[in-house]
Amino acid sequence: MNDFQERLEELLVENNLSRLQLSKILNISSTTINGYFNNNYYPKIEIAISMSIYFNCSLDFLFGLSDIKNNVSHNNNNTFFENFNNLIKLSGISIAQTMKNLKMSEYNCYRWRDGLLPKTVNLIDIAKYFDISVDYLLGNLIIK
């Protein structure tokens, strides 16, 4: 199991929920929920956000990146791309080099600038790269 699978299982047990019940709560198929456990993949970020809201936990906790369950303090009103771009500026490394370091295409930046969110696994990689929380990247100020 990966950290996300372990944390999701922990949250299900803590809330006395089955996978089927969670699938109904999130309005997704039970096959999808089972896929998170059996196929070792992350949910789409919109589903992960719904999970974090339902379980009242940060995305970082849900993904196993933090052991602090509720560390979201407030929304910083920035989009993902604004936060990402600010982190690049602060790092002093070009977008091209950052994307190369992340093993991602620069084309992603254009998509993100236009409002599309990265895949969950990419968000996690970006958060680790900048040593920042996933929640912060998505617009929540996090105390890490």
Taking 70 as the threshold, does the pLDDT of residue 4 lie above it? Answer: yes
CATH code, 98: 1.10.260.40
pLDDT in tens, 5-60: 999 999 999 999 999 999 999 999 999 999 998 887 899 999 999 999 999 999 99
Q: Which two tokens stand for residue 29?
A: 């198929």
Residues 6 or more apart whose Cβ sits within 8 Å of residue 115: 79, 81
pLDDT in tens, 75-121: 567 889 999 999 999 999 999 999 999 999 999 988 998 889 999 99
Does residue 31 share a domain with residue 81? Answer: no
Spell out the SS3 assignment of 90-118.
HHCCCHHHHHHHCCCCCHHHHHHHCCCCC
Does residue 92 share a domain with residue 32? Answer: no
pLDDT at 24: 96
pLDDT at 144: 38
Give the C-alpha separation, 127 to 28, whole Å: 26
Does residue 54 share a domain with residue 84? Answer: no
Count of domains forming the chain: 2
Q: How would residue 139 be classed by pLDDT, with cut points 50, 70 and 90?
A: confident
Range of the domain at 55: 3-70
Does residue 93 share a domain with residue 38? Answer: no
Taking 60 as the threshold, does the pLDDT of residue 141 lie above it? Answer: no
Residue 84 Cα distances to 28, 61, 67, angstroms: 29, 20, 24
pTM score, whole prediction: 0.87
Place of tokens 């969950």: 120
Give the C-alpha separation, 97 to 43, whole Å: 28
Does residue 111 share a domain with residue 58? Answer: no
CB 124 within 8 A of CB 43: no
Does residue 26 share a domain with residue 78? Answer: no
pLDDT at 73: 53
pLDDT at 71: 58
